[in-house]
Amino acid sequence: MDQLIKRKSKRGRSWLVGVWLMLLTSLSVMAADKKEEKEIPLDPVTGMKMTGDWELVRNNCIMCHSPQLFLRQKGTLVTWKEIVHWMQKEGGLWPLPPELEEKIVTYLAANYGPSDAYRRAPIPATYMPTNPYESKIKKDVQKKRAAGLIPVRKP
Ligand code: HEC
């Protein structure tokens, strides 16, 4: 009888050890996941990802507006280049030496690039349902209007 109890408790303990091991491994896996997510630290002042040439971007892009204006955007290298040129034309951004511009757009495209989570490709027209508002009458009217058969009323 004594022996039976002993054996039972031993088995109970090994079961507990198993549970502990499982818990520990899952915890360490979770910790590793978290680490990966937080790989790039954010600058507490601007909220920018502190990597690469982020300071060059900060020095040139937060003088006139909040960094959120560009941190909320997503773009490819080409899009970011267009934004910088538009900034120079319309926003008063000063001229940038080509190599500095390259560094700025490279940082922006690498860290604020397009992502699957935000945009999807447009649905091809062949997959779309027919337009319920497209009627024969409407088409006729459009044709007549294009031909100048319907007088335009002035407001
Ligand atoms: C000299 C001032 C100035 C600097 C420096 C500047 N911007 Fe701007 N930015 C503006 C102004 C002004 C607007 C608003 C223009 C408008 O809406 O017509 C603007 C708007 C923007 C917008 C559009 C936001 C939106 O959603 O409409 C983006 C993106 C942007 N800037 C990015 C940048 C980046 C990237 C840089 C650095 C390369 C930069 N800006 C540097 C003045 C500046």
Residue with CA closest to ligand 1 atom 39: 61
Helix (H, G, I), strand (E, B) or coil at 29: helix
Most confident of 19-33, 57-71, 135-149: 57-71
pLDDT top residue among 1 and 28:
28
Domain coordinates in residue numbering, the chain: 11-39, 54-111
CATH match of 54-111 with 3.40.50.300: no
Residue with CA closest to ligand 1 atom 24: 69
- Express each pLDDT in 50-94 by its tens digit: 999 999 999 999 999 999 999 999 999 999 999 999 999 999 999
Helix (H, G, I), strand (E, B) or coil at 42: strand
**b/e string for 24-58 if b means 16 or more Cβ within 10 A?**
eeeeeeeeeeeeeeeeeeeeeebebbeeebbebbb
Cβ–ligand 1 contact at 93 (below 6 Å): yes
- Express each pLDDT in 27-62 by its tens digit: 665 655 555 556 899 999 999 999 999 999 999 999
Of ligand 1's atoms, which has the minimum distance to the CA of residue 73?
A: 29
